[in-house]
Amino acid sequence: MTAALSPIDKAKYIAARRAVEFVEDGMRVGLGTGSTAAWMVRCLGEMVREDGIKITGVATSARTAQLAREVGVPVKTLDEVRWLDLTIDGADEYDADLNLIKGGGGALLHEKIVATASDQMVVIADLSKQVDTLGAFPLPVEVIPFGWQTTKALIEEMLSNVDVLGRSASLRLNGADPFRTDEGNYILDLHLRRIANPAQLSLVLNQIPGVVENGLFLDICDVLVIGNADGTVEVRDINNGTVEHERIDITDRENLFTDSAE
């Protein structure tokens, strides 16, 4: 069945398969959002069904919660669980220091809350997401709908005073209407091309009235798992300063790949 997957999907699956090895029986696990995270949720569902592992998932979006329930992963709210042992999520971009841009799927606020309420964050990705400097991927910023055009203007004015190459912002759409997050907010995508000082940018963005949160995940990721289509995987642990290379033995299981298109 894996032979039918595209090279990118194979890489995502390999990363997800390795990342769930961090999950132990009884853990409370944050479940990320996006196509790579969806592979991880399916792998966890397989562990619940096939291995009898008992875990509690906290989803970062309504669609992740739905998928988790469909594959047999019990889901509770963060308020019910309070603190997590581990969060596994994808990334839209990562650099050598494991700083991230997230939010391409529109769940950045919930993802950041869940990640920072965890003892450890494991990020799953493929090599296409690796950059020398963050900013090639548009930076998502969640804003409240009230006065969003004023918020957008304030953001673009602020960008003239920071070290970035691009300074435009666009409202994310869902068809002809504004895209809405699970909290009912809008997302502005900032087309920056290069972010010289992510920490400074994150700080000033969150000081602008109307901004709820931004998609810069700085000093949050503990482990990065990079999957490759050939079955190899690289595990970077920033706390231990280690980089390990492994090969994942893929066992095809029909149910894992059913309805897996994202």
Q: What is the pLDDT of residues 208-239, one digit of tens each?
A: 999 999 999 999 999 999 999 999 999 999 99
**pLDDT value at position 259?**
45
List domains and CATH numbers for the chain.
Answer: 2-130+219-257 (3.40.50.1360), 139-212 (3.30.70.260)
CA–CA separation, 106 and 124 (whole Å): 17
**98 close to 236: Cβ distance less than 8 angstroms:** yes
DSSP, collapsed to helix, strand or coil, labels residue 189 as strand
What burial letters (b/e) apply to 217-253, b meaning 16+ CB within 10 Å? beebbbbbbbbbbebebbbbebeeeeeeeeebeeeee
Those residues whose C-beta lies under 8 Å from the C-beta of residue 76, and which sit 6 or more positions away, are 56, 57, 58
pLDDT over threshold 80, residue 1: no
Residue type, 68: A
CA–CA separation, 93 and 126 (whole Å): 10
Is the dihedral angle over the CA atoms 256, 257, 258, 259 positive or is it negative?
Answer: positive
**58 close to 30: Cβ distance less than 8 angstroms:** yes
| DSSP, res 6 | -
**164 close to 201: Cβ distance less than 8 angstroms:** yes
| pTM for the model | 0.93
What is the chain's length? Answer: 262
**pLDDT value at position 151?**
98
User: E strands along the chain, which residues?
Assistant: 28-31, 56-59, 86-90, 93-94, 100-101, 121-126, 139-143, 168-171, 173-174, 177-178, 186-191, 211-214, 216-217, 223-227, 232-237, 242-247
Mean pLDDT to the nearest integer, 88-112: 98
Catalytic residues: 111
Share of the chain above pLDDT 90, in %: 92
Q: Does the annotation flag 129 for ligand binding?
A: yes
pLDDT digits (tens, 9 = 90+) for 15-44: 999 999 999 999 999 999 999 999 999 999
Q: Supply the mean pLDDT for the chain.
A: 94
CA–CA separation, 46 and 38 (whole Å): 13
Q: Are strands 121-126 and 223-227 parallel, antiparallel or unpaired?
A: parallel
Q: Does the annotation flag 102 for ligand binding?
A: yes
**251 close to 151: Cβ distance less than 8 angstroms:** no
Which is nearest to 100 in space by CA: 108, 87, 110, 91?
A: 91
Q: Does the annotation flag 152 for ligand binding?
A: no
Q: Does the annotation flag 34 for ligand binding?
A: yes
**173 close to 148: Cβ distance less than 8 angstroms:** no
**260 close to 250: Cβ distance less than 8 angstroms:** no
Q: Does the annotation flag 91 for ligand binding?
A: yes
List, edge to edge, every strand of the sheet that includes 28-31.
56-59, 28-31, 86-90, 121-126, 223-227, 232-237, 242-247
